[in-house]
Structure 1
Amino acid sequence: MRDALFDLAETPPEHAVIARFHLGGDGFGEADQRALVFEAERTMAAAVKAAGVGEVDGNEFGGGEVVIFAYGPDAKALYLVMESGLRTLPFRPAHVVLRYGEPADDVVSEHIDL
């Protein structure tokens, strides 16, 4: 007899791509800036889905910046699919953090300036 409790497949840790763009000011950016972000996000989400490397999970506006979040099993593969879309956004300064694992103090991450 097998014990199903010990036959569970181990779930790989979730990696993340977190892109941060400065919009200026202290608010949510201008309407045209938000429209550019939404369009780039839709394009990247379609590319990520087609490549099967994860999902673009959304954004957060505030404090004069926007942050775009994406998650999948391989942060580098996810970033490579998203890179061209991220670089089309004109807002600077900007950077991306690739997080290789679940959020924790000791998780490996990589910082990439755009």
Structure 2
Amino acid sequence: MSSEQAVIVTYALPVEGFPGPVELNRVSQLERELEEATGRGDLGELDGHEYGGGQVQLFLYGQDARRLFTAIEPLLRGFPYGPGRAVVRLGEPGASEFVVEL
């Protein structure tokens, strides 16, 4: 997608290093829910995840990061791990952004 805004979500996981099957399953479930939520209004897309340092990051992109975040915020707040935070970037990398603690 070109000229995308972003929502980058980071959660601390309850394990050191790489997550185990329970954590992986919970993250996979959240990803499925996010894909469903973003597809409903053509708000954007989940572009993947990254694990490391006892954390997971989820990368979502769309034309309007504020609308995208509003649509997925209830799912993010309901995720059982944390602390978490979402960086809502209002343009290409380097653009204005704000952080929401989850």
- Tell me the TM-score normalized by structure 2: 0.92
Which structure has the bigger radius of gyration?
A: 1
Q: Which digits, 9 at most, give the CA deviation of each residue in 1:15-71, with x for residues without a partner?
A: 000000001443122211111111011111011011111101111111100001100
Question: Which of 80, 90, 99 is matched with 2:80 structurally?
Answer: 90
Give runs of aligned pairs for residues 54-69 of structure 1, distance below 5 A.
54-69=44-59
Please list every run of 5 or more consecutive structure 2 residues that lacks an aligned counterpart in the other structure.
none
Question: Which of 23, 34, 41 is matched with 1:33 structurally?
Answer: 23
Please give the root-mean-square deviation of Cα atoms over the aligned residues, in Å. 1.6
Task: Indicate the residue corresponding to 1:71 in structure 2.
Answer: 61
Please list every run of 5 or more consecutive structure 1 residues that lacks an aligned counterpart in the other structure.
1-10
Which runs of at least 4 in structure 1 moved beyond 6 Å after TM superposition? none
Does the CA contact (< 8 Å) of 1:25 and 1:63 recur in 2? no
Amino acid at match of 2:75: G
- Tell me the TM-score normalized by structure 1: 0.83
Q: How many residues are treated as equivalent by the alignment?
A: 102
> Structure 1: how far apart are the matches of 2:20 and 2:50?
14
Q: Whose relative contact order is higher, 1 or 2, with alpha carbons under 8 Å and at least 6 apart?
A: 2
Task: Indicate the residue corresponding to 1:46 in structure 2.
Answer: 36
Task: Indicate the residue corresponding to 1:110 in structure 2.
Answer: 98
